[in-house]
Structure 1
Amino acid sequence: MTTILQISDTHLSPRTPLFRRNLALLGTWAATARPDLIVVTGDLSLDGADRDADLEFAAGLLRALPAPLLVLPGNHDVGSDPRTMPTQPVDAARLARFRRLAGADMWAQDLPGWRLVGLNTEIMGTDLAEEAAQAGFIADVAAGIGDRRLVVFLHTPAFTSAPDDPAFDYWSVAPEARAALRPLLHHPGLRLVGSGHLHLHHQFARGAVRYAWAPPVSFLCEPETQPGLPGERLPGALLHRLGVDAAETALVSPAGIEHHWLAAVRPETYPRRDEDASA
Structure 2
Amino acid sequence: MPTILQLSDAHLSPRNDLFRGNLARIRAAVEATPLDLVVASGDVSLDGADRDEDLALAAALHRAFPAPLLALPGNHDVGSHPHTMPKQPFDSARLDRFQTHLGQGRGLVDLPGWRVVGLNTEVMGTGHAEEAAQAEFIAEAAAGAGTRRIALFLHKPVFVTEREDPTFDYWSVPPHGRAALAPLLDHPGLRLVASGHLHVHHQMQRGQVAYAWAPPLSFVVEAEGQPGLPGERRTGALLYHLHEDHVETVLLAPDGMEAPFISQIRHLTYGAPG
* Same fold by TM-score greater than 0.5: yes
CA deviations 1:32-74 (Å, max 9, x no partner) are 2232211110000000000000011111111111222111000
Indicate the SS of the match to 1:32.
coil
2:224 matched residue in structure 1: 224
Deviations along 1:58-95, one digit per CA (max 9) or x if unpaired, are: 11111111222111000000000001110100000100
- Encode CA deviations 1:232-272: one digit per residue, 9 max, x unaligned: 0000000111011111111110111111110001000001x
Question: Is it true that 1:243 corresponds to 2:243 in the alignment?
Answer: yes
Q: Give the equivalent residue in structure 1 for 2:140.
A: 140
1:127 shift after superposition: 0.5
Q: Distance in 1 between matches of 2:37 and 2:142?
A: 21
What's the CA shift string for 1:107-142, capped at 9, x where partnerless? 011000000000000000100111011111111111
For structure 1, the residue ranges without an aligned partner over 5 or more in a row are: none
2:273 pairs with 1:270: no
State the aligned residue count: 274
The answer to whether the 8 Å contact 1:157/1:196 transfers is yes
Provide the C-alpha distance between the structure 1 equivalents of 2:106 and 2:239, rounded to a whole number of angstroms: 21
User: What is aligned with 1:125?
Assistant: 125
Q: Answer whether contact 1:202 1:230 (CA < 8 A) is retained.
A: yes
- Counterpart secondary structure, 2:31: helix
Alpha carbon RMSD of aligned pairs, Å? Answer: 0.8
Contact 1:30/1:66, CA 8 A, preserved across alignment: no
* SS of residue paired to 1:249: strand
Alignment partner, residue 77 of structure 1:
77
> What is the correspondence of 1:51-62 to structure 2 with a 5 Å cutoff?
51-62=51-62
TM-score (norm 2): 0.99
- SS of 1:172's partner is coil
* TM-score (norm. length: structure 1): 0.97
Question: Could you give the per-residue CA deviations for residues 205-254 of structure 1, whole angstroms, max 9, x where no partner exists?
Answer: 00000000000000001101110110000000001110111111111101
In 1, Cα distance between equivalents of 2:32 and 2:38? 14
Matched position secondary structure for 2:32: helix
Q: How do residues 76-115 of structure 1 correspond to structure 2 at under 5 angstroms?
A: 76-115=76-115
Superposed CA deviations along residues 6-52 of structure 1, whole A, max 9, x for unmatched, are 01000000000000000000011111223221111000000000000
State how far apart, in whole Å, the 2-side matches of 1:145 and 1:65 are.
27
Q: 5+ unaligned residues in a row in structure 2: which ranges?
A: none
